[in-house]
Amino acid sequence: MSKAISGLAFEAWAALHRQRIEAALARFIPDAELSSGRMFESMRYSVLGGGKRLRALLAYASAEAVGASSDVADHAAASVEMIHAYSLIHDDMPCMDNDAMRRGKPTNHVVFGDATAMLAGDALQPLAFRVLLDANASASGIVAASRLLADASGARGMAGGQAIDLANVGKPMTQAALEEMHAMKTGAMFEAAVVLPALMIEADQERVDSLTQFAANIGLAFQVVDDVLDATASSETLGKTAGKDAADDKPTFVSLMGIDAAQAYARALTRQAIAAAEVMGGNNARLIDVAFAMAERKS
Amino acid sequence: MSKAISGLAFEAWAALHRQRIEAALARFIPDAELSSGRMFESMRYSVLGGGKRLRALLAYASAEAVGASSDVADHAAASVEMIHAYSLIHDDMPCMDNDAMRRGKPTNHVVFGDATAMLAGDALQPLAFRVLLDANASASGIVAASRLLADASGARGMAGGQAIDLANVGKPMTQAALEEMHAMKTGAMFEAAVVLPALMIEADQERVDSLTQFAANIGLAFQVVDDVLDATASSETLGKTAGKDAADDKPTFVSLMGIDAAQAYARALTRQAIAAAEVMGGNNARLIDVAFAMAERKS
């Protein structure tokens, strides 16, 4: 059926665009030089060479949907991946999650030390803004996009979601509170990935609204799937310790709803995301592919 | 003499503008709310209520010099103070300088814990960009200013200077290397404070160049004076431990040049800064006042 064919074509597209974001990031991050070389090395260590690059794929797919240039797509995708990379460096540090391994290699602070890891994360934030600001787009489009990046990564977005997570360790949470936290902690940067290209080319407000709608649904679906995988997949498949949420007594969609209802919820959210993409129209096939891939991932 | 009179008037101006930056910052930082309230509290703790506000005063003086609006001045000053506040929070943390006191009160991580302190610093960076992006100025002026803020705070500016500092603990440094480090670590953000208002109103390049020149000289003078004070003033006057550089065996302008030559160098740099302000013309009296105040400070 067309699903399988589109799935195959999607994997080829995704592989191509994973190469593309890698090249863009390598171009935007300076080589090691001067005595601050160790910090540049630390930045490159966490930004390059890895991950599913879901945020970059969303930015590229969204750029295709709205007809943004490849330059705009590269700058949007790279800025979002840089914010994501900094957040992982800081999250892994001893004062946060104290994780020693990520994606099968030692975490940044284990390799470079806590001080350099903190500085590398600190330096990736302004670099993400610089990359966005340097896109070949109208000044007003860039300002609108930069505002969204600031909000998505800041106190009302990712950093604020982290703070809520921190404040709720070991406490029961309602589903509404859990969704609010995830909308900030991971959803906001998914939204940035999806919406930045449209803002940069000053797409009309209806399209921006549809994309925001799409992003909110896939962002939440992503987290529900994460919780289901943590409860059902093996550590080997996941590439990280499975069953960690239950062991940490963390509130999750599985602990609140059970596995079957959580799986059904993820499917419903994915359907809503796809409906939003369809309302928007345009060249939306890749966006829909990414939504399916995020819902059906096994790790 | 006119110097004393200008000095008196300057103190009144400075007091007024310290109140003004306080009000602007309070307006731009959200009140504590939701479960991320502790992080907002932590942000407010370090941003509000303190310090000499040299960076804000420079932004206000520079806005006066180029005829920028009070809105532009507030947004420029607040964004630079927010970056400065985040850098102090992270610098004081155990993995960096491990300082327990700053400006006579416990440091942020001592009050809020390391995780919240790190997050508060992380959230202040995008807020600084958001504040700059929200100024009532042309989109192209805002893009130019935001680029400078990104560079000044990032790997080639403040964060990079910190990394060089870190890499050189206990090592001898030449005066050229020491100047390069300080130009990045503190000079770049002084430059941002001075130059942002001019970029925001798209002042002509000659004025921007003169302001950059002014900023480079006062930035370096600031650091030379810092080293002289550390070697000559009492801890009581400084409000922090005096003689710390020598005790830490840190390379300073005093250790490289001796006290007399360092004092003469600070005076020469201040004269060069003032010459640059005079070349620029405009309403430059306050800029010159701030340069004098920075050179003559006793703490």
H helices of A48-106, in order, are 54-66, 70-92
Whole-angstrom Cα distance, residue B286 to residue B283? 8
Query: Mind listing the pLDDT tens digit for each residue in A106-119?
Result: 999 999 999 999 99
Could you identify the residue written with the tokens 């009581």?
Answer: B236
Which ipTM did the prediction report?
A: 0.95
Structure tokens at B236: 């009581």
Q: For chain B, which residues score pLDDT lower than 50?
A: 1-5
Average pLDDT value for residue range A36-47:
91
Instruction: Please tell me which of the candidates B96, B119, B166 has its beta carbon nearest to residue A159.
Output: B119
Q: How confident is the model at residue A50 (pLDDT cuts 50, 70, 90)?
A: confident
On the question of pLDDT at A5 being above 60, the answer is: no
CB pair distance less than 8 Å for B164 and A34: yes
In total, the C-beta contacts within 8 angstroms joining chain A to chain B are 176
Q: How confident is the model at residue A201 (pLDDT cuts 50, 70, 90)?
A: very high
Chain B residues touching A157 at Cβ < 8 A? 126
Chain B residues touching A137 at Cβ < 8 A? none
Residue A286 near residue A64, CB atoms below 8 Å:
yes
Whole-angstrom Cα distance, residue B30 to residue B82? 13
pLDDT at B22: 97
Residue B159 near residue B153, CB atoms below 8 Å:
yes
Query: Mind listing the pLDDT tens digit for each residue in A268-280?
Result: 999 999 999 999 9
pLDDT at B246: 77
Q: How confident is the model at residue A266 (pLDDT cuts 50, 70, 90)?
A: very high
On the question of pLDDT at A2 being above 60, the answer is: no
CB pair distance less than 8 Å for B122 and A90: yes
pLDDT at B1: 32
Query: Mind listing the pLDDT tens digit for each residue in A128-141?
Result: 999 999 999 999 99
Instruction: Please tell me which of the candidates A93, A115, A150 has its beta carbon nearest to residue B166.
Output: A115
CB pair distance less than 8 Å for A159 and B96: no
pLDDT at A32: 65
Positive or negative, the Cα torsion across A177, A181, A186, A190? positive
Instruction: Report the CATH fold assignment for A2-296.
Output: Farnesyl Diphosphate Synthase (1.10.600)
